A and B are shown apart, each in its own frame.
Chain A
Amino acid sequence: SAVISQKPSRDICQRGTSLTIQCQVDSQVTMMFWYRQQPGQSLTLIATANQGSEATYESGFVIDKFPISRPNLTFSTLTVSNMSPEDSSIYLCSVAIRGLGTQYFGPGTRLLVL
């Protein structure tokens, strides 16, 4: 299994500011994803983080709001830009390896925007 760490684990931010969340995996993985879980809701895929190229965003999510980087096979960042209270959620990093029937999640970053 892959061990995934995320920083920060939680944060309280003021509206209009930005927060960058880091995701580190202990082994090289094929796929990295970012999910959002709003309070009391299920998980929604934000984007697929592609190594060395622009992320692939899902409908309803745009690069200007959620810029993502993935410089190598073990690290990715998600920035939540120009935050509003509606961005208060848990943000989760997830990894998978093609050909393997597993997908793991990081511990999540709990974000509260005031």
Chain B
Amino acid sequence: AQKITQTQPGMFVQEKEAVTLDCTYDTSDQSYGLFWYKQPSSGEMIFLIYQGSYDEQNATEGRYSLNFQKARKSANLVISASQLGDSAMYFCAMRDNTGGFKTIFGAGTRLFVKA
């Protein structure tokens, strides 16, 4: 069965510093995708970044990068130069890309950016 684990319920970071949010996963699928979403207090789910299981290079989107370590089954999100607006809930998610195309979510990490 597929599983996503986020072990950090909450994280603090100083403004302008980098922060890493941890995510590990478990799957027997060969083809899968890994996502990170941001959910601010408004409740919307904002797509940040995607990494396919066959992608050899780590995905990057602006200040966001995904540190993909396939052998360790980890997909950590790195946010560089944190901003106050980055304070939000962050969810790691995994999708099976061959079967039902279903996506499951981790428990989330709440990030607090300090001024």
| Chain B residues, Cβ within 8 Å of A105 | 37, 44-45, 47
Assess whether A53 is interfacial by the CB under 8 Å rule.
no
Q: How many CB-defined contacts (below 8 Å) exist between A and B?
A: 52
Question: In the complex, how many residues of chain A place their beta carbon closer than 8 angstroms to a beta carbon of chain B?
Answer: 24
Which of B43, B44, B47 contacts A102 (CB under 8 A)? B47
Interface residues on chain B, size class = 20 to 34
Q: Known: A42-B106, A43-B91, A43-B105. Contact between A108 and B100, CB under 8 A? A: no
Mask, B30-48, CB within 8 Å of A = 1, is: 0001010100000111010
How far apart are B104's CB and chain A's nearest CB, in angstroms? Answer: 7
**Residue of A at shortest CB range from B34?**
A101
Q: Say what secondary structure dominates the interface of chain A.
A: strand
B33–A108 CB distance below 8 A: no
Given contacts A96-B101, A104-B47, 9 further A-B contacts (CB under 8 A): A33-B103, A48-B101, A94-B45, A96-B103, A98-B101, A101-B51, A102-B47, A102-B50, A107-B43
- Interface residues of chain A, those whose CB is within 8 Å of chain B, are 1, 30-31, 33, 42-45, 48, 56, 58, 90, 92, 94, 96, 98, 101-105, 107-108, 110
